[in-house]
Amino acid sequence: MKRTVTLLIVALALLCASCGTTNTVPITGRKTNLLVDDAQILSLSTQQYQEYMKGAKLSANQNNTAIVKRVGQRLATAVENFLMNNGYASEVQNFKWEFNLVASNEVNAFCMPGGKIVVYEGMLPVTQDETSLAIVLGHEIAHAVAKHSAEQMSKQMRQQYAAQIGGSVLGQIAQNKGLSSNTAALIDLIAQQGFNFANLKYSRDNETEADRLGLIFAAMAGYDPHQAIPFWQRMAQLGGGSQKSEIFSDHPSDEKRIANLQKVLPEALKYYTPATTPAPATQKASTTKKTTTTKKTAAKK
């Protein structure tokens, strides 16, 4: 019996691999097998983003809002230029960039597939300037470029397939609705788990990859990648030393994250050309509004 189950699992894994598409992450070259296509995930992401923005309160600080949009667009332009010139031109059509600053003291930011990025006001007293903000936005953009959301969805769909070996739930759905097994699994995933891009937790490997790509993207846009180190040191101070082990977190520990970024710095510097135009007078974000956050809430993506 055990041998039969093992063979079924192996067969399932092969089936999942054959049904998906291979994605190659820019720069890192890492290959992943995705069970959801771009159209599916972008449609779902757009719906969730619109719902989120209906309930969100945008920041009333026009200066800070302008900074977020300016830095974000500068990064997006640099990333798109890189993709266009390095064999990923077809990916550019998937991005419709949007950058919003939301009124919240939470120290957080997130990105949905397709380039919908939200920064919470509580992040700005920690970033303090445009360069550190570029480090945060670069990290979020990296999640979108690397298709980490699709990777996590595919992982959960495979888990569903494995859990339903011997059953016919997905098969019946697909047969009755005329859907592919992958589409049926996606619907089942959303229905059972309430898959939410805004609250999605990536794996530690995804977070480390986003740190690397984000640092490089910031450098491409003309932001000094060295500033990532003091920024993450400030983030670590918010944690009060409570995050001592990454075993209990989807994010790398602060200490390991900083060490990894230091290792990536030489690579990022190869892409770095300092901006030649003077920084605008409004470079520094306003932090006159007191933040009540005393405990770190790490950037989710």
Tell me what the pLDDT averaged over the chain comes to. 80
Return the pLDDT at 193.
Answer: 54
The two three-digit tokens of residue 168, written as one number: 């016919």
Q: Strands of 98-102's sheet, edge to edge?
A: 98-102, 116-120, 109-112
- What is the rounded CA–CA span in Å between residue 163 and residue 142? 31
The structure tokens 């920041």 sit at 59
Tell me the mean pLDDT in the region 241-266. 74
Q: What is the pLDDT of residue 262?
A: 97
In this predicted structure, what is the pLDDT of residue 182?
52
Pairing of strands 116-120, 98-102: parallel
Max Cα separation, the chain?
71
Q: Are 240 and 251 in contact (CB under 8 A)?
A: no
Amino acid 169: pLDDT: 47
197 backbone dihedrals φ, ψ, rounded to 5°? -65, -35
Find the catalytic residue in 80, 140, 207, 209. 140
pLDDT of residue 243: 43
The shares of helix, strand and coil residues in the chain, as percent rounded to the nearest 5, are 60, 10, 35
Mark whether 140 is an active-site residue: yes
Res 235 pLDDT > 50 = yes
Name the one residue in this structure whose structure tokens are 């699709």: 150
Pairing of strands 21-24, 31-34: antiparallel
Average pLDDT over residues 147-172: 70
Q: Say which range, 21-35, 147-161, 242-256, 278-292, has the weakest mean pLDDT.
A: 278-292
Is it the case that residue 268 has pLDDT exceeding 70? yes
At residue 23 the predicted structure's pLDDT band, cuts being 50, 70 and 90, is very high
For 213-229, the pLDDT digits (tens) are: 999 999 999 999 999 99
The pLDDT tens digits of the residues spanning 83-133 come to: 999 999 999 999 999 999 999 999 999 999 999 999 999 999 999 999 999
**C-alpha 272, offset from chain centre:** 22
- The yes-or-no verdict on residue 3 having pLDDT over 60 is no
> Cα(182)–Cα(190) distance, rounded to whole angstroms?
12
Per DSSP, the residues of 228-240 read HHHHHHHHHHHTT
Beta bridge partners of 99: 117
Residue 297 is predicted with a pLDDT of 45
